[in-house]
Structures are given as C-alpha cells and as structure tokens.
Amino acid sequence: MIIKNQDKIAEISHLIPPNLNMFGVSDHQNDKVLKKIYGLQLKKMRLMRGYTQTRVANAVNVTFQQIQKYEKGVNAVSIINELKLSEFLNCDRNYFVQPITENGYKFLTKRGNGYGNNRD
C-alpha cells in the first residue's frame, strides 16, 4: 500500500503546477485555484499518512463525501475543520496552501487597496 500511495503522491505533485498557472486570472479563478490546491495538498498528506477518506472524515466529524469534495476542490474547508485536519494529520495548517505562498502569489490585487500584483 505504501508503494501504491507513493505513486499517487507523485501524481498529485505533478497536478499542482498546472493549477498554479491559473492563479491571478481573476478573483473567482483564484478562489477555484485555492480550493483545488488545498484539496490536492490534503489528499497528498492523507496518502502520506496512509489514511482512508473515511478515517479522516471520522476524525474531524464530517462525511467521507465531504472529504472527497475537499480533495477535489469542490468545497472550501471551514477554519474549524482546517484546524481539525491539521491536528489529525499532524501538519501545520499552512501546508495546505504552501504551493501558493511559496511561489509568491498574493490574494490582494491592486484595485485601490494599495497592494501590488498577484505575484511579487
């Protein structure tokens, strides 16, 4: 199972850059990219820990279908569930958005708010 998961983890890692390329198109698109990246990172961490969606769902008190939706980027994760997930998976909550922040992407755009572009 570990080897099988390693293949899936590698596959997930390859899905992140194409999604990041869509960041900065619009606020709506940024929201979609954030949910997708978050979901890919969640799935990757779950597989690295060797957990099923059901086990994670039970730990944070949601359905496994909700975990599926998080992982597919369909639903956003609430702050309380993010805290539960990071505690259960024993990772920093910033892990889930790390590909975005490590690449210098910003959520505030220059629209009279005094901030620069989406990316430094």
Q: Is the pLDDT of residue 51 over 50?
A: yes
Instruction: Give residue-wise pLDDT tens across range 4-47.
Output: 688 888 888 888 888 888 888 788 888 999 999 999 999 999 99
Cβ atoms < 10 Å from Cβ of 69: 17
Q: How far apart are CA 27 and CA 97, in angstroms?
A: 16
What is the average per-residue pLDDT within 69-93? 97
Are 102 and 110 contacting, i.e. CB atoms less than 8 angstroms apart? Answer: no
Give the per-residue pLDDT at 41.
97
Instruction: Read off the pTM.
Output: 0.83
| Amino acid (1-letter code) at residue 82 | E
The superfamily in CATH containing domain 2-101 is lambda repressor-like DNA-binding domains (1.10.260.40)
Q: How far apart are CA 62 and CA 79, in angstroms?
A: 14
Q: Is the pLDDT of residue 103 over 90?
A: no
